[in-house]
Amino acid sequence: MKFTKMHALGNDFIIINNIKNNLIFKKNIIQKLSNRYLGIGFDQLLLIESSYNKNIDFNYRIFNADGNEVEQCGNGARCIALYLKIKKLIFKKKICVSTKNRVIHLQIINDKKISVNMGIPLFNPQDIPFLTNNIKNTYKIYFKNKYIYFNVVSLGNPHCIIQVDDILNTSISEIGFFLENHKIFPNKINVGFMKCINMNNIQLRVFERGVGETNACGSGACAAVAVGIKKNFLSHKVCVNLPGGNIFIHWKGYKNNLFMIGDANYVYDGKFIL
């Protein structure tokens, strides 16, 4: 089985061309392949498939390292665009792909830089989904003798955003695991920890459901900026500094599509035997 290893800001993937096949990967196979010591090692597996809609170029499916299929991956979308270009599966700069629950428009700016139209951020609890009796500007939950204050937003996948003062010494894994598996998030949740530097710059660390903390999370960056703009402490153009590097988010606010611009990188081609 041939695959291509790629990454975006250190958030790494294997991409498999499933256009002419009908491959189905069981959870245990994905878990073995994602293992960084005994397998290939990756945060997500991306499957490219044919589209049955003439207005959509390709469909792609996203599987986290734990084997569960998820709805969205911003960094993965940029790698998909670069993959389609370098494998000569498409010869145009504007590409339309569908995921599990939405259509995404990609634009290849140059050999590495890709723009992704992530759609309109959704803040209603039922869109996350998030179980609550009241819609609030900020929510809170009790954890280890204190309250954690957070916001929720969906970019096709669910995100919980927490503002922190000290991003280096926050218990990312402990809090992230607690929230990811809490009953108030029936489909689990990605947890972003955001420190605001100024209106145009934030620092971010993300604990991804089914993966753990990653070097970068594109949809997580979009979610954090969307929350900051909604709460009026960020401008419409923001640079997000992640452990793996920087990504740029543009959003004009309510009812507008949100755009993400960042790098994608080819690493190598390989093959494995099932």
Per-residue pLDDT reduced to its tens digit, 171-200? 999 999 999 999 999 999 999 999 999 999
- 22 pLDDT higher than 90: no
* Same domain (yes/no): 150, 239: yes
The reply to whether 132 and 251 lie within a common domain is yes
Asked whether residue 87 carries a pLDDT value surpassing 90, the answer given is yes
Domain match, 108 and 163 both: no
Whole-number average pLDDT of the chain: 95
Total number of domains constituting the chain? 2
Range of 83's domain?
Answer: 2-118+263-271
What's the DSSP call for residue 80?
A: H
pLDDT at 18 over 90: yes
- 160 catalytic per annotation: no
Query: Which residue from 263, 200, 198, 197 is spatially nearest to 237, judged by alpha carbons?
Result: 200
- Are residue 89 and residue 177 in the same domain, yes or no? no
Nearest to 79 by CA among 18, 9, 29, 22: 9
pLDDT at position 21: 87
List the one residue out of 17, 19, 66 whose CA is nearest residue 44: 66
46, pLDDT greater than 90: yes
pLDDT at 110 over 90: no
Claim to verify: residue 35 and residue 20 sit in the same structural domain: yes
Q: Residues 107, 134: one domain?
A: no
Same domain, 145 and 22: no
CB atoms within 10 A of CB 120: 16
Catalytic residue among 79, 160, 217, 222: 217
Tokens encoding 168: 């280096």
In terms of domains, do 136 and 236 share one? yes
Question: Which conformational region is residue 231 in: left (phi greater than 0), alpha (psi within -120 to 50 degrees), or beta?
Answer: alpha
Give the pLDDT confidence score for residue 112 in this predicted structure.
81
DSSP state letter for 180: H
Mean pLDDT (whole number) for 201-217: 96
DSSP 93: S
Confidence at residue 102, expressed as pLDDT on a 0 to 100 scale: 87
- Same domain membership, residue 129 and residue 86: no
Rounded percentage of the chain residues whose pLDDT exceeds 90: 93
Each residue's pLDDT tens digit, 115-172: 999 999 999 999 999 999 999 999 999 999 999 999 999 999 999 999 999 999 999 9
The single residue of 73, 79, 160, 222 carrying the catalytic annotation is 73
Average pLDDT value for residue range 217-234: 97
**Cα 225 to the center of its chain, rounded Å:** 13
Give the strand pairing for 44-50 and 201-208. Answer: unpaired
With 90 as the cut, is the pLDDT of residue 246 above it? Answer: yes
Same domain, 102 and 137: no
Is residue 273 over pLDDT 90?
A: no
Residue 240 predicted with pLDDT over 90: yes
Q: Which of 260, 262, 198 is nearest to 235 (CA)?
A: 198
Q: What is the identity of the amino acid at 105?
A: H
Q: Which domain CATH number covers 178?
A: 3.10.310.10
- Burial class (CB within 10 angstroms; exposed 0-12, middle 13-18, buried 19+) of 52: exposed
Type of residue found at 7:
H
Residue 52, pLDDT above cutoff 90: no
Give pLDDT, residue 221. Answer: 97
Same domain, residue pair 48 and 107: yes
| Residue 191 sits in the same domain as residue 248 | yes
Known catalytic membership, residue 222: no
